[in-house]
Chains A and B, each alone.
Chain A
Amino acid sequence: MANKALPRPDMPGPQPVEQTKVTSVPVQPAAPLLRASGGEVPDRIFKSAMTACGLAVLAVLAVIVYELISGSRLSWHAFGFKFFAASDWDPVNEHFGALPFIYGTLVSSLLALIIAVPLAVGVAVFTTEMCPKGLRGPLSFFVELLAAIPSVIYGLWAMFVLVPLLGQHVQPYLQRTLGWTTLFDGPPIGYSMLAAGIILAIMIVPIVSSITREVLMVVPQHQREAVLALGATRWEMIRIGVLRNARAGILGGIILGLGRALGETMAVTMVIGNNPQIAKSLFAPGYTMASVMANEFSEATGDVYISSLIEIGLALFLVTIVVNALAQLLVWTVTRGQPARGNA
């Protein structure tokens, strides 16, 4: 040992350590911290308290599942699987079928994806690959600001700006030019599946684009350089070197956006027209699973009615769980265990 070789009069070396063996009761004045904050017992209490908080996360999910399942038992016994195939929603005679709501949820979400995905990927590509460095920060800040606007304010804006705009200008135009597809049939009243799809698209762009951006940024730089060295233009580099490598992650971001669109409530409820029907035209009003819960829960009377609404909640819950878990796994494979932050 080095200090053995250099004995000094004022420092007796290793001997004092032997004199005061490390015991459970510290006697040295040099250990006030240890004494002040106790020994092992508080440590164990601390660990179990934190573990309890962690377990609470699991417990919350378990409680949600339990409440939804026990709440929907009545409706399940009354209708069984037919609940998801029947399309009559008649609270007076207590006949409930969820098909129009499932249809409305799926169509509005898919419409939103069709509009939002190209925009979101375009924004992500622009911010990571094309724009000057100084613009990158402010741009992603503004896009993420969209995510901070409460859903009810989107709905308010859509009711007073988007819906009149659609009804007076966009829908008549679409009818004239694309009316033959029968997707754009019916009176242009604004409140429609189309309005719901557009407002949903605006709302999910930030999530899809922020996850896509994250995924694009983990594509290694040498991939880009290799493609450029082969003589590719910038777009070819992006297409071959970047987008192709990031496919799985981008898909994860899109599915996460789908999960958000499926469960979005307020803005959709305010513009979709709330009419439980299955119409082919995007101009017709519709109804979604989330909207029917939002509109009818607080006024529902009768156990079967409430139970049917809870069953719709359970169905929506299961679908979003599957969709989100899938998206989470896809994003995790690309970013290696980091949480998908656009979700926050």
Chain B
Amino acid sequence: MPEATVTTALHSVPPISLRRRFTDHLMTGVAVLTVLLVLAPLVAIFGYLVYRGVGAIDWAFLTQTPKPVGESGGGMANAIVGSALILGIASLVGVPFGVGAGIYLAEFGRNSMGRAIRFTADVLNGVPSIVIGVAAYAMLVLHRHFSALAGGVALAIMMVPTISRTTEEMLLLVPQALREAAYGLGVPRWRTTLSITLRTATSGVITGVMLAFARVAGETAPLLFTTLGNTFWNLHIDQATAALPLQIYVYANSPYDDWHRQAWAGAFVLIVLIVTAVAAVRYAVRRGTFGAA
């Protein structure tokens, strides 16, 4: 009678009690609720940003410099260009060091120094941006003066950990066989790393770079006392320079309605610039890698 015993065994399993079933459904509901609660601010922020931002942008905003206090009109053209200048400096300094450190970690970093650098990069990633600003201030501003360079260096310091860790990860994804094939053809190690490994991982590395770029593009805190802000045009790297996030902050704290309008316009432009920069580079990389293959 083996069949009979199985049946009785199955019957003897008590059904899941009402209380347990209720808890199960309740927790599912709670989880769905948390998702809605988390997505609500996202929708609210983007919605309000578009609502206030789109209407606030006019030609003057994109082409003129700020008007004196109390006068309405004017724009943030100098801040947009200033942000581009500061981010340019940051990328010129941060990207080579970040990618280089990533190559070191992936290709030569299987030792205690590699571990130390890896840990330092992860810790550096968590240092508050304002503290990096303070360090840049003490280093480049304190006995000199406010400059775009100091802000750029502060942002570069923030870019390096992200870039180096993603570069490392992407290089490690490249199959070992590719490297061995190159060595087998007599290609030296540096050439293998640059034109085989790094080339294969290009799109991943660039994604990492864009992540870092997007993160620092909206940074305000480290610029407050390094580039300081400026109401006029400036393209000299050793002078105080306007930056879009700084201008948004100053205008948001002002008591003028027209400046509030411009702060929203600036926020909208900032988001659009970040998103298009990231999207454009991703598109270019995708086409580039598939075109080459």
Contacts and interface: CB of A to CB of B under 8 A. Distances in A.
Contact of A321 (B97, B104, B127, B245): B127
A114 interface: no
Nearest to B222: A265
B189 interface: yes
Given A37-B187, A265-B129, A54 B252 contact: no
Contact of A297 (B38, B127, B134): B134
A172 B225 CA distance: 38
A11 interface: no
Given A39-B188, A151-B218, A157-B48, A294 B248 contact: no
Contact count band on A: 35 or more
Interface secondary structure of A, over-half rule: helix
Contact of A37 (B133, B188, B225): B188
A104 interface: no
Interface in B9-29: 13, 16, 20-21, 23-24, 26-28
Interface in A36-55: 37-40, 42-43, 45-47, 49-55
A61 B139 CA distance: 13
A54 B130 contact: no
B165 A344 contact: yes
Given A126-B31, A153-B248, 12 more contacts: A34-B186, A34-B187, A34-B188, A37-B187, A53-B96, A57-B161, A63-B139, A157-B49, A160-B260, A270-B253, A344-B125, A344-B215
28 contacts: A37-B191, A43-B189, A50-B104, A53-B96, A54-B100, A54-B109, A58-B117, A60-B124, A64-B132, A68-B134, A71-B142, A122-B30, A148-B214, A148-B215, A151-B221, A157-B48, A233-B24, A235-B27, A265-B128, A265-B129, A265-B130, A266-B220, A266-B221, A270-B252, A290-B130, A324-B125, A328-B123, A344-B166
Interface of A: 26, 31, 33-34, 37-40, 42-43, 45-47, 49-58, 60-61, 63-64, 67-68, 70-71, 118-123, 125-127, 130, 139, 142-143, 145-146, 148-157, 159-161, 202, 205, 209, 231, 233-236, 238, 256, 259-260, 262-266, 270, 290, 293-294, 297-298, 306, 309-310, 313, 316-317, 320-321, 323-325, 327-328, 339-340, 343-344
